[in-house]
Amino acid sequence: MNGQINRLKTLISNNNFSFDNVYTFLSGSKSNGKSYILYRYANSLSKLKNVLIVETNNNKLNYITDIEIIDSFNKFDRFRYPKKGNTFLFNVSEDNLNNFEYFEKILHKINNEFAGFFDLILINTISGVDKIFSPYFRKSQRCFLISKTDPISIVDIYAVIKILINNNYLNDIQVIFNKVDSEVEFIEASDNLRKAVNHFLKREINIVCSIPTHQIGEEIVTNFVENFSLLPSY
């Protein structure tokens, strides 16, 4: 156990990592639409960018087409893809979800051997407050927290924010309210969450946007991107 903790501390403090293009998507509970938003967003970007999805959620890939599966980075040949405009998926096996050393090796591999090839790396985490695994977000430039507006979801997303802060996550915390039925509902949920985070956690958060219940597909992506500039600057 001490060895794992020491390796994790080394990972966290290692300034050789450059993860300006890594975004982590989190949710305090299931059925908030986190995976759907992430995959639709990835699909929209992959026309111009090489996007890597690091999947810890065992999704069935119902959200995206034309995706390249990476079974192993040791066998991955990036020279097969001379042109930009590809979406790649790497599944973290269930046995390795909480393996600090394994994830550290993956970070090294992406950072050292594939620097510049992946324009954007999106980490899809398992939903649930008790499933949050700090190495998946500690080096992310931004964390996107997907939530509904009902009181239980607000409590759950507050708990996720608390975990980020308690793990010394200092970068941007972005909240997206999904499946919103009205503007009044969105404003009330936003105000309640902001007040709680400001008062108890002494931290500012950014409410990116609300996605109405009736929006699907490209409407979601348009709403998402128009309300916040997600593309990294290159």
Residue 176, domain CATH: 3.40.50.300
What's the pLDDT score for residue 229? 46
3-state SS assignment for residue 57: coil
Does residue 149 lie within any of the structural domains? yes
What's the pLDDT score for residue 39? 85
Distance CA 46, CA 68 (A): 11
Single out the residue of 142, 146, 175 nearest to residue 23, CA to CA.
142
Does residue 36 lie within any of the structural domains? yes
Does residue 234 lie within any of the structural domains? no
Distance CA 127, CA 74 (A): 29
pLDDT along the chain (234 residues), means of 10: 44 48 89 86 83 80 74 90 92 80 78 86 86 75 92 94 90 90 93 96 90 68 54 35
What's the number of domains the chain is made of?
Answer: 1
Distance CA 234, CA 232 (A): 6
Does residue 153 lie within any of the structural domains? yes
Does residue 233 lie within any of the structural domains? no
Full residue range of the structural domain in which residue 104 is found: 2-11+20-227
Tell me the CB-side half-sphere exposure of residue 43, using CA atoms within 13 A. 19
Does residue 232 lie within any of the structural domains? no
